[in-house]
Amino acid sequence: MKAAFFNQCGGADQLTYGDFEDPVAAAGEVLVRVKACALNHLDLWVREGLPAYKIRLPHILGNDIAGTLAETGQNVLISPGISCFKCGYCLRGSDNLCPDYKIIGADGGHGGYAEWVRVPAANVIPIPEGVALEEAAAFPLTYLTAWHMLSTRAELKTGQSVLVLGSGSGVGVAAIQIAKLLGARVLAASSSQAKLGRAKALGADETIWSGGENLAKKIVRFTQGEGVDVVFEHIGSASFMQAVKCLKRGGVLVTCGATGGHAAELDLRYVYFKELKILGARMGTFAELNHIVQFLAQKRLKPVIDRRFALSEARQAHEYLASRLQFGKVVLIP
């Protein structure tokens, strides 16, 4: 089969397009003909050699996969997380905390930058009728993560306010839609004026340019001195303390990543004086993904695809994602 893969970790120039050994499904696995695979920043980190993800080289990236089952031809999307479903975490429904948790295309074997992929049969979810394969590929990881952050961890409620940082990213776009679905008032922040316009069109109630003047001061003005109930954070050290200062008393900051650096500064006085909650989120559970697929079917959640690349253009796709110019998802098409 044809695939985009790398033989050693490094920059985007390490990605090679060419022939790769066909996958063979083992017991409990299925083969999927890949029709679309969306990119995530996780792909860039794994390619660069992030120590947290142990891979065997050569390696094929790609966590967000949609395609057709080899045996039946049914259109399916793939849940990115692999869990044992036997440990205490899994049995209580927290399979994203499984000690053996892995991600397809990262430390969970080869991913979707290929014509074919083998995945656990348990990870296959039928694509609802009327949903395009490219949209399905742009859905699992970011929408699951945003749902887990806002609905499960932060327990966002109707009428509350949420500040979405990095609102033009794949997970930021998902957060805007999910927060509106949950009945919240959404303040979308970005350093790109062009992305703010698109965030407004997507449903954000207010948009805030996060460049220039202190972000926290802007949020305080927007909220008449009070702050927001929830901050949706995935940037890390580049904006973490500013994000904390945007919260009202009793507010919640929930974070899922650190694209701007992982060593964040934190003034604990804000945490205890205002009784703040700072929560982490690790993607989400299989049950949550199954639940939110109904909103995909109902068009209440609709993935935004910024740009499509051919599989042979995986290197260019990585360079484009790294530039942070995209609004929504970047998708590879075999």
The answer to whether residues 120 and 146 touch, using CB atoms and an 8 Å cutoff, is no
The answer to whether residues 64 and 330 touch, using CB atoms and an 8 Å cutoff, is no
pLDDT of 334 reads 94
C-alpha dihedral (154, 91, 138, 25), degrees to nearest 10: 170
Separation of alpha carbons 261 and 241, rounded Å: 13
pLDDT of 213 reads 67
Alpha-carbon distances, residue 82 vs 41, 100, 317 (angstroms): 19, 8, 26
Q: How is residue 59 annotated by DSSP?
A: B
Beta bridge partners of 310: 333
Cα–Cα nearest to 4, from 43, 42, 31: 43
Alpha-carbon distances, residue 208 vs 201, 226, 244 (angstroms): 14, 16, 16
- List the domains of the chain with CATH numbers: 2-139+303-333 (3.90.180.10), 143-280 (3.90.180.10)
pLDDT of 211 reads 74
Separation of alpha carbons 286 and 173, rounded Å: 21
pLDDT of 49 reads 96
Radius of gyration for the alpha carbons in the chain, expressed in angstroms and rounded: 20
pTM given for the model: 0.95
- Token look-up 């390696």 returns 59
Separation of alpha carbons 189 and 207, rounded Å: 6
Q: What are the counts of helices (DSSP H) followed by strands (DSSP E) for the chain?
A: 11, 17
Q: How is residue 52 annotated by DSSP?
A: T
Secondary structure element (H or E) that encloses residue 76, with its range = strand 75-78
| Mean pLDDT for back-to-back runs of 10 residues, the chain (334 residues) | 98 98 97 98 96 95 98 97 97 97 97 98 97 98 98 98 94 97 96 90 92 83 92 88 95 90 87 96 97 98 97 98 94 97
Separation of alpha carbons 319 and 334, rounded Å: 18
